[in-house]
């Protein structure tokens, strides 16, 4: 087992209640177990979150570089969509 370091944290009343409920209902043996699991899950998701931020930043930059926006005609959009639908689904 890895060395254990004791850390003090502050939680909102709502989070503290959730932690106590998780322990009181027997899902976890202690508040520390609840926090450790939450941190393990956060650690697993964090790289994915960073990738998503990078993807959004890239899309944002591509949008800026694509030039000025222009007004769109909703009827033309509908006609184009209908044409694509019929082209993809021949009878």
Q: Which residue has the higher pLDDT, 13 or 89?
A: 13
Where are the domains positioned within the chain? Answer: 13-88
Q: How far is Cα 11 from Cα 4, in angstroms, rounded to an integer?
A: 21
Contacts of 11 (CB under 8 A, 6+ apart): 19
Q: How confident is the model at residue 37 (pLDDT cuts 50, 70, 90)?
A: very high
Q: How far is Cα 85 from Cα 34, in angstroms, rounded to an integer?
A: 50
Q: How far, in whole angstroms, is CA 72 from its chain's centroid?
A: 30
Cα–Cα distances in angstroms (integers) from residue 40 to residues 12, 32, 35, 44, 46, in the given order = 20, 12, 9, 6, 10
| 78 token code pair | 């509908």
Mean pLDDT of the chain: 94
pTM of the model: 0.62
Q: What is the pLDDT of residue 90?
A: 61
């Amino acid at each position: 087992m890895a060395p254990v370091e004791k850390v003090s944290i502050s939680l909102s009343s709502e989070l503290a209640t959730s932690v106590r409920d998780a322990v009181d209902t027997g899902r976890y043996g202690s508040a520390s177990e609840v926090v450790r699991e939450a941190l393990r899950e956060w650690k697993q998701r964090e790289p994915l979150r960073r990738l998503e931020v990078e993807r959004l930043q890239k899309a944002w930059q591509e949008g800026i570089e694509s030039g000025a926006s222009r007004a769109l005609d909703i009827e033309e959009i509908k006609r184009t969509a209908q044409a694509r639908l019929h082209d993809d689904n021949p009878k």
